[in-house]
Amino acid sequence: MRCPECGALMRYGGGPSDTNIFIMICTRGGCHRQETYYLETRREKESSMVIHILDSGLPLCGFSRESPAFWPEGHKWVDVEDKGRATCPGCKTRVGPEEDVERSEGLVDSRT
């Protein structure tokens, strides 16, 4: 990481151990620039985005007919097997609760 003021490299200067805040300090003598950054955790990032459930490459809720590569920012996806991480209410409603799915002989029978 480079200092936004002089362009020199910055070094890690610590930060509170109970937060996601860290401090970077300029290594160039005389600059003394100090920057504070906040690092988002995976859980925080996921709470601010819509996570859809994919089936045959498309979201169950039908919000898009495009592949995920063309979705707007803030929309992600998980497979049906990982539906617990989904945040999209439409997708979660369509897939139903875990106990409504019966697996027998490799086939999935959804009773909705």
pLDDT digits (tens, 9 = 90+) for 57-81: 899 999 999 889 888 888 989 988 8
Kindly state the percentage of the chain with pLDDT values over 70.
71
> Is the pTM here over 0.85, yes or no?
no
pLDDT recorded at residue 54: 92
Domain ranges of the chain: 10-39, 45-96
pLDDT recorded at residue 59: 93
Q: What is the C-alpha separation between 41 and 20, in angstroms, rounded? A: 8
pLDDT recorded at residue 61: 94
